[in-house]
């Protein structure tokens, strides 16, 4: 530790104390918070004005008193070291607290509920009920979504239904024929392995991840979407709320955003392609991340919110960063998964690839689209990501479009032109892959399922498209 580092002030892993006093409760709270979080250091001998005052002559007596206070007044035993060093030719005592593995740590005098503290920025705060519950789960080595949902039973047919649905989604989200063929059926044994089910006494019991994936609950968490005029929530334009199984929430929320953002165009040879102002894959990654990593302990209290303003797309997910994670680590691809069973299920369904890769990927894609790097904001109980829209597109949308134009139409372009471009995009995709289903086609051209169904009906009426074979295993035939 240097003078320059001290002048940087306190932060989430560093605190200063002038010395020891009769009431050592304040700095012991910080020790608890460090142990419950990512660890940290307390430097004794630094004044509130950041000047180095030292610890006097009895350094080793102070060192022993600090170690005794931590050992006698905090439970469980905190992993820590105390050392003596010199800064600016003055002796100080450094208490280094390691990240604990037996959470929650607490002050014995206040008990294991009121005596639990966490660190946020440069402050120490009492843990609320949701954080306290998560700390207790963390101490077991499991995640909340792997815990048994007591009082709920499942029938074999419901498990089979979920397995079939997951496989269908996995195939739909496969990017290649090889990946689609590689999708194997999900079995109850696999659900047990992931933690979606638990086996007890020969009976399969549901965990919270099963509830989230199957929708078997009246208290399902929700995703709230809203459109606002301007750059704050003063003028409300539209809203939508999704309370379906979490994998369906992703699809619904993605389609909602795609229907509301602006669209331009580019030419790929002879074909004109629609181009969204924010890359659709980035929107999907952003929403998937919010769903997989949110805190579901108090799911009915704080929904995921997705807000679209004139200048940005804002996604807020309940639950701060998990222990051991920082914003920088997250942006660089490092992952600590809050919901391990959900993450495994989402990976099978091809909704996510490797844990941690999604954030790094959508940052890269957003920057490649010419937009500024996404903004990440951390609070104790939430994470927010802002993806800023291109200002020039917003200005054009506000000034250049006529009242009768739909989303994505440029000046002088009619709604019929937009429909024609979408029809050509559908024809192009079906020419490349006649086996595409309606949902797969909707995803490929970034339109809603209902929109694709309308286009397909029109193409059939005009004689440009027809269906051969059964609904499930048939193929599309494009008439030239």
The confidence band for 124, taking pLDDT boundaries of 50, 70 and 90, is: very high
pLDDT at residue 477, rounded to an integer: 84
Question: Would you say residue 300 has pLDDT above 80?
Answer: no
What is the pLDDT averaged over residues 55-67? 88
The confidence band for 396, taking pLDDT boundaries of 50, 70 and 90, is: very low
Question: Would you say residue 375 has pLDDT above 70?
Answer: yes
Task: State whether residue 387 is helix, strand or coil.
Answer: strand
Question: Would you say residue 401 has pLDDT above 60?
Answer: no
pLDDT at residue 183, rounded to an integer: 94
Six-digit token pair at 371? Answer: 């937009």
CA–CA gap between residue 215 and residue 163 (Å, rounded): 13
When computed from its CA atoms, the radius of gyration of the chain, rounded to whole angstroms, is 27
What is the pLDDT averaged over residues 302-322? 91
What is the pLDDT averaged over residues 43-53? 92
Question: Would you say residue 297 has pLDDT above 50?
Answer: yes
What is the pLDDT averaged over residues 359-368? 88
The confidence band for 268, taking pLDDT boundaries of 50, 70 and 90, is: low
pLDDT at residue 480, rounded to an integer: 58
Question: Would you say residue 454 has pLDDT above 60?
Answer: yes
pLDDT at residue 301, rounded to an integer: 62
What is the pLDDT averaged over residues 69-79? 95
Domain 3-127 carries which CATH code? 3.30.950.30
pLDDT at residue 397, rounded to an integer: 40
What is the pLDDT averaged over residues 462-474? 73
Exposure class string for 2-24: b at 16+ Cβ within 10 A, else e: eeeebeeebebbbbbbeebeeeb
What is the pLDDT averaged over residues 165-180? 91
Residue predicted with more confidence, 106 or 275: 106
The confidence band for 414, taking pLDDT boundaries of 50, 70 and 90, is: very low
CA dihedral 313, 317, 322, 327 (to 10 degrees): 10
For 176-226, how does the pLDDT look when each residue is reduced to its tens digit (9 = 90+)? 889 899 999 999 999 999 999 999 888 999 999 999 999 876 667 899 999
Return phi, psi of residue 93, to 5°.
Answer: -110, 130
pLDDT at residue 417, rounded to an integer: 44
Domain ranges of the chain: 3-127, 145-214, 223-409, 414-480
Residue predicted with more confidence, 249 or 449: 249
Task: Show Cβ contacts of residue 263 under 8 Å, excluding neighbours closer than 6 positions.
Answer: 274, 275, 276, 277, 407, 408
The confidence band for 430, taking pLDDT boundaries of 50, 70 and 90, is: confident
The confidence band for 403, taking pLDDT boundaries of 50, 70 and 90, is: very low
The CATH class, in words, for 223-409 is: alpha beta
Residue predicted with more confidence, 363 or 394: 363
Question: Would you say residue 421 has pLDDT above 70?
Answer: no
Exposure class string for 94-113: b at 16+ Cβ within 10 A, else e: bbbbeebeebbbbbeebebe
Six-digit token pair at 433? Answer: 């892959």
Task: Show Cβ contacts of residue 10 under 8 Å, excluding neighbours closer than 6 positions.
Answer: 16, 122
Six-digit token pair at 280? Answer: 């659709």
pLDDT at residue 467, rounded to an integer: 83
pLDDT at residue 413, rounded to an integer: 40
pLDDT at residue 405, rounded to an integer: 36
The confidence band for 269, taking pLDDT boundaries of 50, 70 and 90, is: low
The confidence band for 299, taking pLDDT boundaries of 50, 70 and 90, is: low
Question: Would you say residue 75 has pLDDT above 90?
Answer: yes
What is the pLDDT averaged over residues 94-116? 93
Mean pLDDT of the chain: 84
Six-digit token pair at 341? Answer: 């069973």
Six-digit token pair at 295? Answer: 């805190």
What is the pLDDT averaged over residues 123-152? 84
Q: Which of 165-169, 188-192, 444-448 has the lowest mean pLDDT?
A: 444-448
pLDDT at residue 420, rounded to an integer: 60
CB 392 within 8 A of CB 366: no
What is the pLDDT averaged over residues 124-141? 83
Domain 414-480 has CATH 1.10.10.10: yes
What is the share, in percent, of the chain residues with pLDDT greater than 70?
88
pLDDT at residue 344, rounded to an integer: 94
Question: Would you say residue 73 has pLDDT above 50?
Answer: yes
């Amino acid at each position: 530790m240097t003078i320059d580092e001290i002048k940087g002030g306190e932060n989430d892993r560093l605190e200063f104390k002038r010395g020891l006093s009769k009431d050592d409760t304040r700095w012991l709270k910080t020790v608890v918070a460090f142990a419950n979080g990512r660890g940290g250091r307390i430097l004794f001998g630094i004044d509130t004005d950041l000047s180095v005052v030292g610890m006097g002559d009895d350094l080793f007596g102070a060192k022993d008193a600090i170690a005794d206070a931590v050992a006698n007044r905090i439970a469980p035993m905190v992993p820590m070291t105390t050392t003596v060093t010199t800064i600016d030719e003055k002796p100080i005592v450094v208490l280094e607290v390691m990240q604990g593995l037996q959470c929650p740590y607490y002050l014995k005098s206040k008990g294991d509920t009121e005596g639990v503290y966490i660190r946020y920025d440069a402050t120490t705060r009492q843990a609320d009920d949701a954080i306290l519950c998560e700390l207790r789960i963390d101490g077991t080595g499991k995640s909340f979504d792997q815990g048994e949902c007591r009082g709920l039973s499942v029938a074999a047919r419901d498990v089979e239904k979920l397995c079939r649905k997951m496989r269908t989604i996995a195939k739909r989200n496969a990017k290649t024929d090889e990946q689609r063929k590689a999708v194997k059926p999900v079995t109850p044994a696999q659900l047990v392995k992931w933690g979606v089910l638990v086996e007890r006494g020969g009976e399969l019991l549901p965990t919270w991840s099963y509830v989230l994936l199957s929708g078997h609950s009246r208290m399902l968490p929700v995703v709230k979407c809203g459109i606002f005029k301007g750059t704050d929530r003063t003028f409300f334009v539209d809203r939508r709320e999704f309370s379906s199984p979490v994998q369906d929430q992703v699809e619904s929320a993605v389609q909602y955003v795609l229907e509301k953002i602006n669209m331009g165009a580019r030419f790929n040879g002879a074909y004109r392609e629609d181009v969204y102002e924010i890359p659709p894959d980035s929107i999907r990654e952003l929403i998937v991340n919010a769903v997989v990593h949110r805190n579901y302990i108090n799911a009915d209290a704080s929904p995921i919110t997705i807000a679209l303003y004139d200048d940005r797309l804002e996604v807020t997910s309940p639950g701060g960063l998990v222990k051991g994670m920082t914003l920088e680590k997250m942006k660089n691809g490092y992952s600590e998964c809050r919901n391990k069973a959900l993450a495994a299920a989402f990976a099978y369904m091809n909704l996510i690839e490797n844990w941690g890769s999604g954030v790094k990927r959508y940052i890269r894609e957003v920057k490649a689209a010419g937009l500024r790097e996404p903004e990440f904001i951390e609070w104790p109980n939430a994470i927010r990501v802002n993806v800023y829209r291109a200002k020039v597109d917003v200005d054009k949308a506000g000034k250049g479009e006529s009242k009768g134009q739909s989303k994505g139409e440029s000046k002088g372009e009619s709604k019929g032109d937009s429909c024609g471009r979408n029809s050509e995009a559908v024809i192009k995709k079906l020419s490349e892959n006649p086996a595409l289903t309606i949902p797969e086609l909707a995803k490929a051209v970034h339109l809603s399922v209902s929109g694709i169904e309308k286009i397909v009906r029109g193409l059939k009426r005009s004689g440009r498209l027809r269906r051969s074979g059964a609904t499930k295993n048939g193929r599309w035939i494009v008439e030239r």
